[in-house]
Amino acid sequence: MREIIFDTETTGIDPKQGHRMVEIGCVELVDRMPTGETFHAYYNPERDMPAEAEAIHGLSAQFLADKPRFADAVDELLDFVRDDMLVAHNAGFDFAFLNAELELCTREPICLTRKIDTLEMARRKNPGGKHSLDALCSRYGVDRSHRVFHGALLDAELLAQVYIELTGGRQIAMGLIGEIGEGDTAPAEPELAAMLPSGDRPRRPARPHSASEQELAAHAAFLDRMTRPIWHR
């Protein structure tokens, strides 16, 4: 199962008021594991950058002036996300901007059935708590010490770790089993052998499951000592 964790940065909070998306970052997960594949792009919004927005993400109009327009680079993004599920924090915001940009360049919008919102997931899992990305990083022990400004790719990478925790956490043996060379049948740490997929575990002879003659005789003697067994009532 392939999923795309993504985040956007914008010039404001409402695309209907003429605000535009200026950055997008995407992280690929397969079976809830990061593959290392990412997508990151800046876009020229063809408008000014409000000071309050720049204070959040640090992207100035001057920095974005030589970046491509979304319409000129949209195919690279669509090729990366394909038809897979898209995961975002407060996903309605990010989907609104992404689909507004697609509409401006006469492309089909992303269907909302592909939306997974980690904010909604966090509210269901921890009602009454704080549900910002920073708060969830603290709750699940995700290191965000290098986060000075909001950045789309950095936030997507942090959210990917949070999403894994929200959906059940990492496997116990993650990163603990040593590399298994060709022809090896056991992991570098023998005590972790049971954590390997069954096809990779060392084979053991089948254990006998039928009772021995001595065990059968002992059982019969035990039954003979019973004077009023309930199965004779």
Q: Supply the DSSP string of the chain, one letter for each residue.
A: -EEEEEEEEESSS-GGGT--EEEEEEEEEETTEEEEEEEEEE---SS---HHHHHHH---HHHHTTSPPHHHHHHHHHHHHTTSEEEETTHHHHHHHHHHHHHHTT-PPPPGGGEEEHHHHHHHHSTTS--SHHHHHHHHT---TT-SS--HHHHHHHHHHHHHHHTT---TTTTTSPP--TT--S-SSGGGGGGS-GGGSPP-PPPP-SPPHHHHHHHHHHHHT-SS-GGG-
Which residues have CB under 8 Å from 144's CB, separation 6+?
134, 137, 158
Whether the pLDDT of residue 215 is over 90: the answer is no
- The answer to whether residue 180 sits within a structural domain is no
- The answer to whether residue 123 sits within a structural domain is yes
pLDDT at 203: 60
- The answer to whether residue 46 sits within a structural domain is yes
- The answer to whether residue 191 sits within a structural domain is no
- The answer to whether residue 198 sits within a structural domain is no
Which residues have CB under 8 Å from 136's CB, separation 6+?
118, 122, 142, 162, 166
- The answer to whether residue 58 sits within a structural domain is yes
> What is the tally of structural domains in the chain?
1
From 23-37, 42-56, 163-177, 185-199, the region with the lowest mean pLDDT? 185-199
Tokens of 148: 């000075």
- The answer to whether residue 187 sits within a structural domain is no
Query: What is the Cα 110 distance to its own chain's centre?
Result: 20
pLDDT at 191: 39
**Residues 98, 18 contacting (CB under 8 angstroms):** no
pLDDT at 149: 64
Residue 28: CATH number of its domain: 3.30.420.10
pLDDT at 5: 97
**Cα–Cα distances in angstroms (integers) from residue 121 to residues 25, 37, 67, 111, 133, in the given order:** 21, 24, 35, 19, 12
**Catalytic-labelled residue, pool 40, 150, 219, 232:** 150
- The answer to whether residue 222 sits within a structural domain is no
232 is catalytic: no
Q: Show the domain range for 114.
A: 2-166
- Residue-averaged pLDDT of the chain: 84
From 143-147, 183-187, 202-206, 219-223, the region with the lowest mean pLDDT? 183-187
pTM > 0.75: yes or no: no
